[in-house]
């Protein structure tokens, strides 16, 4: 296509994909009502037109609806376009369920294959570690899916460096997803270094601070009913107001670099290490093109130092998740 961008690529386990991928969750799940089907399809096709080759979905998103959307639009995709999905966290009877038992992983994989209109999943993550089940057991079940030809590579999400080591000893782990952005720097405690040591790709989700540092929402009441950000301490009360103060200096620095705040944040994450990729999500085609444009931005040492000074670990006010959700994670944290 004439508007296809010459996007740089990086290793994602055994695959070579665009460093800026596309997180599909927002189209169906999490941030308010799902997008109308025609809008969601148009955004996905636009990502393909721009040259994006890494799409990320999960069984949880829309309780299967997002996988079906991705499957319908990308079922005839070129071979170099990679689709990742996730197991271990899903929806049943209107409820969110964490289940890492081998039989659950096998059953959910079959469901995801049907949703994606495929006979194999390129990259299959354990979305959350079910702490009632040894990580080796869950990964062992996923390795059986690899041997059966139903999965090409295995990933993990939101786990610590220690858990990554244990899992990698059971079966090679291709990628680890973790929230990583200017206001969430937890991977720098240990996970980023462990990924480098093991040759595991680090896939940064929510690299745009869930939209906050881009200037939205302007107030908590802008968030729709059911938007998961309403439950997050960083988007509440005094934390919200304190975090709003972080936007102005970031905006000024983006102006000096000559890019948008979103592009500056994505470029910063990509500059941390060559093993790192980003999967920003959006429901708007203009934002999609803007995010892809971050691929061309090269931050100098001085700019990176300024950003590090503006956003040291722990700078954001409030925890990432409410207490009930935080116990589900296994990540190291800088106190929030």
Give tens-digit pLDDT for 95-109: 899 999 999 999 999
Q: Please, which pLDDT band fits residue 163 given cuts at 50, 70 and 90? A: very high
pLDDT of 4 strictly over 80: no
* Residues involved in catalysis: 61
CA atoms of 210 and 127, how far apart (whole Å): 18
Averaged confidence pLDDT in the chain: 95
Over residues 292-314, the mean pLDDT reads: 95
Mean local confidence (pLDDT), 12-30: 97
Confidence (pLDDT) at 151: 98
Least confident range of 2-11, 29-38, 239-248, 316-325: 2-11
Q: Which residue has the tokens 């702490």?
A: 131
User: Smallest Cα–Cα separation from 26: which of 235, 221, 227, 322?
Assistant: 227
Tokens of 64: 């299967």
pTM for the full model? 0.96
Residues above pLDDT 90, as percent of the chain: 93
Provide the pLDDT for residue 93.
86
At 1, the pLDDT band (50, 70, 90 cuts) reads: very low
**pLDDT-derived band of residue 209, with 50, 70 and 90 as boundaries?**
very high
Task: Please say whether the beta carbons of 16 and 174 come within 8 A.
Answer: no
Which tens digit of pLDDT belongs to each residue from 37-69? 999 999 999 999 999 999 999 999 999 999 999
Secondary structure class of 18 (helix, strand, coil): strand
DSSP code string of 66-128: HHHHHHHHHTT--TT-EEEEEESEEEETTEEEE---HHHHHHHHHHHHHHTT-SSEEEEEESS
Mean pLDDT of 169-198: 97
Paired tokens of 312: 């040291």
Residue 153 has pLDDT above 60, yes or no: yes
Token look-up 């000096």 returns 256
**pLDDT score of 32:** 87
- Per-residue pLDDT band for 321 (boundaries 50, 70, 90) equals very high
Question: So what's the pLDDT on residue 335?
Answer: 64
């Amino acid at each position: 296509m004439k508007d296809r961008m010459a996007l740089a690529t990086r290793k994602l386990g055994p695959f070579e994909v665009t460093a800026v991928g596309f997180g599909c969750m927002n189209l169906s799940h999490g941030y308010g009502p799902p997008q109308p089907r025609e809008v969601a399809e148009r955004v996905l096709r636009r990502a393909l037109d721009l040259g994006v080759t890494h799409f990320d979905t999960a069984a949880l998103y829309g309780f299967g609806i997002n996988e079906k959307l991705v499957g319908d639009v990308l079922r005839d995709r070129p071979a170099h376009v990679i689709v990742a999905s996730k197991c271990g966290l899903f929806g049943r009877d209107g409820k969110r369920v964490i289940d890492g038992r081998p039989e659950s992983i096998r059953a959910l994989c079959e469901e995801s294959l049907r949703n994606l209109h495929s006979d194999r999943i390129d990259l299959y993550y354990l979305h959350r570690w079910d702490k009632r089940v040894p990580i080796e057991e869950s990964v062992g079940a996923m390795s059986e899916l690899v041997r059966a030809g139903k999965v090409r590579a295995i990933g993990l999400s939101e786990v610590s460096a220690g858990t990554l080591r244990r899992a990698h000893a059971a079966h090679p782990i291709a990628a680890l997803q973790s929230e990583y952005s200017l206001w969430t720097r937890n991977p720098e405690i240990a996970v980023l270094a462990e990924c480098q040591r093991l040759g595991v790709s680090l896939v940064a989700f929510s690299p745009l601070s869930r939209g906050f540092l881009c200037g939205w929402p302007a107030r908590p009441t802008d968030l729709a009913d059911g938007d998961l950000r309403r439950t997050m301490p960083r988007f509440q009360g005094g934390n919200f107001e304190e975090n709003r103060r972080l936007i102005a200096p970031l905006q000024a620095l983006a102006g000096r670099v000559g890019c948008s705040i979103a592009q500056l944040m994505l470029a910063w994450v990509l500059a941390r290490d060559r093993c790192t990729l980003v999967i920003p999500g959006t429901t708007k085609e203009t934002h999609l093109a803007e995010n892809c444009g971050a691929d061309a931005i090269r931050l100098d040492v001085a700019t990176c130092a300024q950003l590090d000074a503006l956003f040291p670990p722990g700078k954001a006010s409030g925890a990432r998740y409410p207490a009930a959700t935080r116990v589900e994670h296994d990540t190291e944290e800088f106190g929030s």
